[in-house]
Amino acid sequence: MYARRRRGYFLLMGTCLVLFVGACAVVRLWSVPVAVGMCVVAAVIPPVAAVVANRKGPEDRWYDDTTGDPGSDDWWDELDGRPRRQ
């Protein structure tokens, strides 16, 4: 699951870099408004990439799920101030 999120993040960030560099190096020679539009799109991509990279998948363990290890679960419960599980 982590590899898929990481691959999606790098794909989006690579697209962002290609748009930005392409707009500044090539497209601006023919059309400045199109280059500005490409830069605007490139500026919107990083927050979307952060959401994609941090999204919890259906198989991912959430921070408050039990691990199945009683020692570890007791330790986390103690840190969170929760009563011990039976």
**DSSP letters of 20-73?**
HHHHHHTGGGT-HHHHHHHHHHHHHHHHHHHHHHHPPPTTSPPTTS--S-HHHH
On whether the CB atoms of residues 23 and 31 are closer than 8 A, the answer is no
Average pLDDT, the chain: 85
Higher pLDDT, 75 or 46: 46
Higher pLDDT, 62 or 49: 49
pTM over 0.95: no
Q: Is the pLDDT of residue 5 over 70?
A: yes
How distant, in Å, are the alpha carbons of 39, 44, 59, 62, 78 from that of 51?
Answer: 20, 12, 17, 16, 31
**Residues 42-59 pLDDT 10s:** 999 999 999 988 887 766
Per-residue pLDDT at 14 = 95
